[in-house]
Amino acid sequence: MKAISLTGIKPTGTPHLGNYLGAIRPALDLAQQYEPVYFIADYHALTTVQDASLMRDNIYKVAATWLALGLNPEEALFYKQSDIPEIFELNWALSCITPKGFMNRAHAYKDKVAKNIEAGEDQDYGVNMGLYAYPCLMNADILIFNANVVPVGKDQKQHVEFARDIALRFNKTFAPIFTIPEPIIQEKSDVIPGLDGRKMSKSYGNTIEIFLESKALKKKIGKIVTNTQSIEEAKDPDSCHIFALYKLFASPEATESLATRYRAGGLGWGHAKAELHHLLEETFQEARTKYFHLMANPLEIEKILDYGAQKARLRAKENMEKIREALGVS
Ligand code: ADP
Ligand code: TRP
């Protein structure tokens, strides 16, 4: 039996290059070596997405993205979190052995509290219980399928460490049934910069979506912030946001060649942006066609997710039986 690689993506908007490089691409690479268990974390998204038609649309987008980029639903377990009720049962059981202090220290909650205090608000202003207990549900996602590795962006490392800790506690308190998961963080792409150089994130509005039509992509790339150096001036590739994105997709030779052109002078920001545009178009051309086909045929997506849910539930049920037995409730 192959070891399991598991990860989830929240349907909170249109997937962007940060999601692709930080989460999707590394996860797909691991699918060669591990059994992939990849899912859509819709109940995690519910902490912020509270509009049914938006939720549905976001779920289609995330599902179509995984499928277009090459996830094979025959080889993978590919499902929507909300279709697996055992995850929510395990969530409760785990919450009973999770110290409340862990949640206080979880970075998303901690950041929110710090911002509230700075703004002179009550510290829990705008915090729902879903946001507060978010890492606990994530632990259930990971442990229910006994994941060996969890590929995630750097910001999620803490959550996987919680899952390790809780698995160890459970194993010690009840029975040694959980695998201790290992986070896998892509060093090369741990924080992908956005249009403004800050971490690319939907919440900063600085994203480049993975599948954009050529014109829209050009417009987005046009917004990458640069300095005021003239065309003739020699430029430093390593402090340039365009180059930072370029090198994540280009071959080492192409990267070196563009770096040389930067340093030589005579390359304007417009030229560098055109290089990036060309490279992204080429990289995603095939997947983009598949993505738009799926988005135009949501029933196809639903069929694939239903199939995945059936397969995943069989496994989740089997594991939940063992967990219930360990807890003494069955
Ligand atoms: P966003 O910040 O846009 O809301 P999510 O929180 O939905 O993105 O992230 C989904 C996955 O993509 C996570 O594993 C996260 O670590 C990864 N990720 C998101 N943005 C980046 C980024 N800029 N660089 C690297 N990984 C990222
Ligand atoms: N919290 C993750 C994010 O914001 C999404 C997620 C939910 C996840 N459950 C997971 C990632 C389990 C890995 C494993 O990106």
Q: Which residue has the least CA distance to atom 11 on ligand 1?
A: 19
Is CATH 1.10.240.10 the right assignment for the domain spanning 211-290? yes
> Which atom of ligand 1 sits closest to the CA of residue 156?
16
Q: Which of 10, 61, 199, 235 is catalytic?
A: 199
Residue 135, ligand 1, Cβ within 6 A: no
| pLDDT for position 305 | 98
| pLDDT for position 188 | 65
Alpha helical stretches, state H, the chain: 17-19, 25-30, 42-45, 52-68, 85-95, 100-105, 107-118, 129-132, 134-144, 157-173, 214-222, 241-249, 252-264, 269-296, 298-327
| pLDDT for position 24 | 93
| pLDDT for position 189 | 60
Q: How is the chain split into domains, by residue range?
A: 4-193+298-327, 211-290
Dist. CA 296–CA 216, nearest whole Å: 19
Full pLDDT tens readout for the chain, 330 residues: 899 999 999 999 999 999 998 889 999 999 999 999 999 999 999 999 999 999 999 999 999 999 999 999 999 999 999 999 999 999 999 999 999 999 999 999 999 999 999 999 999 999 999 999 999 999 999 999 999 999 988 889 999 999 999 999 999 999 999 999 999 987 766 688 999 999 999 889 999 999 999 999 999 999 999 999 999 999 999 999 999 999 999 999 999 999 999 999 999 999 999 999 999 999 999 999 999 999 999 999 999 999 999 999 999 999 999 999 999 999
Q: Which of 80, 202, 235, 247 is catalytic?
A: 202
**What CATH number belongs to 4-193+298-327?**
3.40.50.620
> Which atom of ligand 1 sits closest to the CA of residue 10?
7
CB proximity list for 73: less than 8 A, separation 6 or greater: 67, 304, 307, 308
The answer to whether 304 and 313 have CB atoms below 8 angstroms apart is no
- Nearest ligand for residue 14 CA: 1
Give residue 44's Cα distance to chain centre: 12
Residue 8, ligand 1, Cβ within 6 A: no
| pLDDT for position 118 | 96
Segment 69-125, tens digit of pLDDT: 999 999 999 999 999 999 999 999 999 999 999 999 999 999 999 999 999 999 999
Crossing angle of helices 241-249 and 252-264, rounded to 10°: 160
The residue to which tokens 């997937």 are assigned:
15
The model scores a pTM over 0.95? no
Residue 202, ligand 2, Cβ within 6 A: no
Q: Is 220 a catalytic residue?
A: no
Segment 34-53, tens digit of pLDDT: 999 999 999 999 999 999 99
Crossing angle of helices 298-327 and 134-144, rounded to 10°: 90
Separation of CA 138 and ligand 2 centre (Å)? 6
| pLDDT for position 258 | 96
